[in-house]
A and B are shown apart, each in its own frame.
Chain A
């Protein structure tokens, strides 16, 4: 098999092309938002968010059997609510933020599993939600993933210098009268949207990896934020792309394959 065939053969399948495109888009959005989450020490929040989306997915799945738009809508709604809820609990409660996150996270995750388990023969669907099912992405799913990803990246670029400043020195941002609270919630909402895009590709359980691993790789190699961000994007896109080929040839679950490739890039950067 020629090297060209290596890529050409899987790409003859329309479902595989869609899967690659979806994986690349979601990975790019995750890397963009994830870079700021990593810099702010909010990666646990990203993980919690991914799990907290499950009850929304479950409700969409129970109430609108087969309607993909409904599942997306419910997931998005839950993600935004959960992220604002975590932000709010962390602000108000006397609990430390990671404790608040832990409570919201586990409670909602249990609710999600509970809801899905009321359906007979739920195990297969649950596995899809937990680990993604990118090979089953429909053209409709792809539009959603691509649209949301593009939206997330454009918003981050639009607020780039304010987000960077508020991340590096929040107090200074406040003395400049930047809307730091707005930026914080904006980042939470962006993280929520991002997690929903990642859901189709790597699932709830591995969404954290896409939020953390490519940004960590970028931050390891880049000495300036724009460079680190660009590298994170590059490694995310490469992981999405090559991960799917690994999945195809090794018969591996695509979500796991994408994460494995991303982790391999990270290790190479670390050992460089």
Chain B
């Protein structure tokens, strides 16, 4: 599948994401400073760091939902503003799960931006929504009310909505929080499969072990970028200590270094 993006003027050869010297203030204090990186199409980047490190802020800035004080973001060569092909998936509690909608209804919401005002969704929109549900393995639950979904199914539904939207860049905030191990593995496998189809993903996570196993690229963040690269190289004891401070204990074991985190259960806001 090609990661094309209808309705927007993309530079054909531009990287999926270019971030230059990004600086964002929140509540008068810097939440992000000096963040620069380039992401080619189809790459998968995990953004890790302690609570309050600016992971969510980075995603919001990439989505164009907060305005940076300095620096710039280019999504496929254009400002993050007018992009139908960019999907931001907030942490799960952000929506009302009691809303009267079925799984298919929510997948169809991904098509609203394509339809335009006063136009009804067409058969093609429905086909796209079904296709998206099939790709995430939710087609069998299409007519189920969303309040009956498990945590992992909810995450997959969000992904399906992004696919129905034909998003070529996914921005995911803590998609694994509260999921059991099989559900986490399922989401990670799905992301890897989507990447093979040319879909670029930036994922905020706090599970260092899963990042090390499943992501080719990681950005270690604590307001400023502390390390960048494949996790095996980026997660050095020095960088991890700089990021987590005393919340992280490094234990030398025969296989290498074991990192034990105290940080759990993040409630990172904004």
- Chain A positions near chain B (C-beta within 8 angstroms): 39, 158-159, 161-162, 164-165, 167-169, 171-172, 174-178, 219, 222-225, 227-228
Contacts and interface: CB of A to CB of B under 8 A. Distances in A.
Interface stretch (B23-31, B105-113, B187-195, B196-204): B105-113
Contact of B109 (A169, A171, A177, A222): A169
B88 A175 contact: yes
30 contacts: A39-B100, A159-B117, A161-B121, A164-B109, A167-B99, A168-B96, A168-B101, A168-B109, A169-B94, A169-B95, A169-B109, A171-B90, A171-B94, A172-B88, A172-B90, A172-B95, A172-B109, A175-B64, A175-B87, A176-B112, A177-B82, A177-B84, A219-B100, A222-B100, A224-B101, A224-B105, A225-B99, A225-B101, A225-B105, A227-B100
Nearest to B84: A176
Contact of B96 (A39, A158, A223): A39
A165 B64 CA distance: 19
B247 to A, nearest CB: 29
Interface residues of B, number: 30
B113 A171 contact: no
| Max chain B Cβ within 10 angstroms of own Cβ: one of A162, A168, A178 | A168
B100 A225 contact: yes
A39 B88 contact: no
Given A162-B117, A223-B145, A228-B100, A175 B112 contact: no
Contacts of A224: 100-102, 105, 145
B105 A165 contact: no
Interface of A is mostly: helix
A165 B101 contact: no
A174 B106 CA distance: 16
B65 A174 contact: yes
A166 to B, nearest CB: 10
Contacts of A225: 99-101, 105
Contact of A178 (B113, B118, B121): B113
Contacts of A159: 117
Shortest beta-carbon contacts, A-B, top 7: A176-B113, A169-B95, A228-B100, A175-B88, A168-B99, A225-B100, A223-B145
Contacts of B96: 39, 168
Nearest to A169: B95
Given A162-B112, A175-B63, A223 B100 contact: yes
